[in-house]
Amino acid sequence: MTNSAFGQGQSAQAVQEIQKPLFAITNAVAGGSGIIAYNADGNYLAVAGDKVIHIYERQPGGRLNVALARTLTGRPAQILGLAFHGTNTLVSVALDGSARIWDVDNGKLIHSVAMDFGKETRFAMAPGDSSLAADTFSGRVRLWNFRSGEILKTFEPGDSWASALAFTPDGKSLVIGTEKGVLRAMDVASRTVTRTIDLDSPIKSLAASAEHIGVGYSDGTIAILNFGDQPSVPEVKNQKGDINALAFSPNGEQFASASDDHSVTVWNFATLKPICSLEGHGAAVLAVAFSPDGKMIASMEANGVVNFWAAPGR
């Protein structure tokens, strides 16, 4: 964690509310890869299994019902990452070195490009209309065009291997975390690093809102930063073990943290106090995501179960 110049972490007060899942997909995948993603309008949720991708579709009559719409299959290779581009285009990367573009409306493969990915690859895609993707490869960060496969920029952190990535919602900044705890913000247009801060502890997960960055550590602590100078870095803690994933709500007023302790905590960003604990998983929670309208939260555990929750106040 940060040293005294940046402030010390503090445990949160006891959570007042515990929520159980509204519903769950108990047989989503055979094993939990910890990779889920909503499309732009929230009608689809993509869930990565070991070697397939399941597309779940929201059913008529409300938000509390989803059904398996189709399964995307190809060469049997481990899925390393996926993200939606708009409402019906999904980009996935796999250990066989392929980056694939799918039409989720009909389940057809549109295009595939040959890349090279390692087993520990972290993948992110810039929101908006661009074709920009980012990944970690052999400790480096690559910016590339997911339609052509062209490598646009390779960045070597220098201090250690890159361990986490996150784009801001406008796609203009890419946040990079390393195993030694160095955080960097990169301006995407100029491909230059605009801020570097040594947080002194290995970075496990990242999330970015329009103005802030959430950093998850391996002891349950979360640090909150902004994109400018700040006299201290506040830290909060309400969970135990790895913070495997973080997600901001669309309006930035809440964020959620997924932990090895089988729970998800939803936080009030303004107060940095926990709003509620989402409990009901039977294994480490590897992924968490807010729906685009901010009304739902989906989370995935290591056993492949996906739970759905009502976002607090919605």
Q: What are the structural domains of the chain?
A: 12-310 (2.130.10.10)
- What is the mean pLDDT of the segment spanning 157-185? 95
Q: Which long-range contacts (CB under 8 A, 24 or more apart) does 297-301 make?
A: 297/247, 297/256, 297/264, 297/266, 298/36, 298/38, 298/45, 299/36, 299/256, 299/258, 299/264, 300/28, 300/32, 300/34, 300/35, 300/36, 300/47, 301/32, 301/262
First vs last C-alpha separation in the chain:
33
- Mean pLDDT over the full length of the chain: 90
Of 139-148, 222-231, 245-254, 279-288, the range with the lowest mean pLDDT is: 222-231
Pairing label, strands 243-248, 235-237: unpaired
16-32 burial, b at 16+ Cβ within 10 Å, e below that, comes to: eeebebeebbeebbeeb
Spatial distance between the Cα atoms of 36 and 83, rounded to a whole number of angstroms: 8
Percentage of the chain beyond pLDDT 90 is: 78
pLDDT attached to residue 158: 87
Q: Tell me the per-residue pLDDT of 39-72, one tens digit each, with 9 for 90 and over.
A: 999 999 999 987 889 999 998 876 667 899 999 9
Looking at residue 1, its pLDDT comes to 59
CA atoms of 33 and 48, how far apart (whole Å): 6
Model confidence band, residue 206 (pLDDT cutoffs 50, 70, 90):
very high
Answer whether 272's CB lies under 8 Å from 238's CB: no
Per-residue pLDDT, 147: 94
Residue pair 223/215 in contact by the 8 Å Cβ criterion = yes
Half-sphere exposure of 72 toward its Cβ, with a 13 Å CA cutoff?
A: 30
Kindly report which listed range (11-25, 88-102, 135-149, 277-291) carries the lowest average pLDDT score: 11-25
pLDDT tops 50 at residue 3: no
CA distance 146 to 99: 7
pLDDT one-digit tens code per residue, 240-267: 999 999 999 999 999 999 999 999 999 9
**What pLDDT sits at residue 118?**
85
Read off the pLDDT band of 16 (50, 70, 90). Answer: low
Checking if the pLDDT of 165 tops 90, the result is yes
